[in-house]
Amino acid sequence: MAATLITASPAPAQQRADQRAFFDLYKELVETNTVVDVGSCTQAAAQIAARMKAAGYTDADLTSFSTPDHPKDGGLVAVLKGSDPRAKPILLLGHIDVVAAKREDWTRDPFKLIEENGYYYGRGTVDDKAMSAVWADTMIRLKQSGKAPKRTIKMALTCGEETTYAFNGAEWLAKNKPDLIAAEFVLNEGGGGRLTSDGKREVLAIQVGEKAAQNYTFVATNPGGHSSQPTPDNAIYELADAVKAVQGYEFPVRFTDTTRAFFTAAAKQAGGEMGGAITRLLANPNDKAADAIVSRDKAFHSTLRTSCVATLVNAGHAENALPQRATANINCRIFPGETVDGTLATLQKLAGAKVKVTANQPVRPTAIPPELDPKVIGPATSLAAKHFPGVPVVPMMSTGATDGIFFEAIGIPVYGVPGMFIDKDMSGVHGLNERIQVKSLYDGRDYLFDLVKAYAG
């Protein structure tokens, strides 16, 4: 049966009156191209600021920022003052830049919000324009209510999260405007919910800690020569051996308080062989047999340890010449408590003497896991029981990386809140045909609005 396709201002029948303004904001944000070096986060932030001013925010409440070197990578900080000056603020963090998307690779235009078969499609429909739109919408609704929250609520929408080498607005704020974004804790991306293959709600996660992303470069060099007279020394072969050594290496199993709680819950839910293996691994992280079973699940495997993988290669200069240079990028996700330098030492040992290994700039802060704080975990869990009855809530460590590390580096704990359910395949995030269920978006908006109100008193 042919799919029903709506390409202009889709408006689901279930929209309530309060959802229409949110949808307009969300649609405008998705359809504003914010790919680094292509689109403009500054434009997207200005559009949101205009909506907030129309809702009653003053110029003093809104701080738009960018730098002369990066005029299109700007962002926005908004402040809704609370009634109790003794209550520490909370900060809502979202990034409005997105991963690049080529129209020729997508089934639909990635920069048009398209509704099809109960989903919204478009680059950023999940990561992270869903949450960014909800945060801006929440700030607008609270302002329009006319009643000040007990504690001050701040919102920071930034650019650069998706591109390591780009200007990063969250990092800039943490270094240059720490008083502006000072808060007791930050609510961020990284948590969420997972749907089963048949679309049922399976589990909710609150992110408490994350890995640190770090890239390394492997370089093999050689004088080269004519390809008609090959020699054993070959930059491509030497690089290939080093990359294969990385492929075959497993970093040791580690646990934090968060991942121990996560795997304890996972063992109960999984049962059987997997549940038993998780239980044994919790008791003995050096149990290789248990590790082999648990690591069949790629998410579990990455949650257990630092992981490094080759993502880019470049070699040679002519088809009829021996290679003079071969390089590879190794992308690592470093477990909390482990360091960039320590991982570099491991990679250099694996690569061997003929391959040089360096840590790429920028070197991001070491991930600092926050505590399993009851005043944060409690409201998230209790409200989940109301909005999503019967769905378990588990703490988790993100195997990816977010801008939360920049706030943790200046002493502000960051939590990735649940609320938005996505498909088991991650709904095309960073890939093709990114999407979110229409119902998941609006249900998540309701949950997150109530969660912010609960934290803000």
Domain ranges of the chain: 5-210+369-384+395-456, 212-251+306-366, 255-305
CATH number belonging to the domain at 212-251+306-366, selected among 3.40.470.10, 3.30.70.360, 3.40.50.300, 3.40.250.10:
3.30.70.360
- Residue 1: pLDDT band (50, 70, 90) is very low
Q: What is the pLDDT of residue 367?
A: 80
Q: What is the pLDDT of residue 14?
A: 53
CATH topology of domain 5-210+369-384+395-456: Aminopeptidase (3.40.630)
Q: Is the pLDDT of residue 12 over 80?
A: no
Q: What percentage of the chain reaches a pLDDT higher than 90?
A: 92
- Residue 63: pLDDT band (50, 70, 90) is very high
- Residue 376: pLDDT band (50, 70, 90) is very high
Highest mean pLDDT among 195-199, 334-338, 348-352, 360-364: 348-352
Q: What's the average model confidence in pLDDT over 218-222?
A: 98
- Residue 17: pLDDT band (50, 70, 90) is confident
The whole-model pTM stands at 0.89
Q: What's the average model confidence in pLDDT over 338-345?
A: 96
Q: What is the mean pLDDT of the chain?
A: 94
Q: What is the pLDDT of residue 16?
A: 86
More confident residue, 400 or 330: 330
Are 398 and 207 in contact, with CB atoms under 8 Å apart?
yes
Q: What is the pLDDT of residue 401?
A: 86
The full length of the chain comes to 457
Q: Is the pLDDT of residue 57 over 80?
A: yes
Q: What is the pLDDT of residue 364?
A: 85
Q: Is the pLDDT of residue 3 over 90?
A: no
Q: What is the pLDDT of residue 98?
A: 98
Q: What is the pLDDT of residue 5?
A: 33
Can you name the residues that pair with 70 across neighbouring β-strands?
67
Q: What's the average model confidence in pLDDT over 268-277?
A: 95
Distance CA(314)–CA(185), nearest Å, equals 42
Task: Please give the structure tokens belonging to residue 204.
Answer: 């909710």
Are 350 and 306 in contact, with CB atoms under 8 Å apart?
no
Q: Is the pLDDT of residue 316 over 80?
A: yes
pLDDT in tens, 167-185: 999 999 999 999 999 999 9
Q: Name residue, tokens 């500054």.
A: 42
- Residue 114: pLDDT band (50, 70, 90) is very high
More confident residue, 400 or 376: 376
- Residue 53: pLDDT band (50, 70, 90) is very high
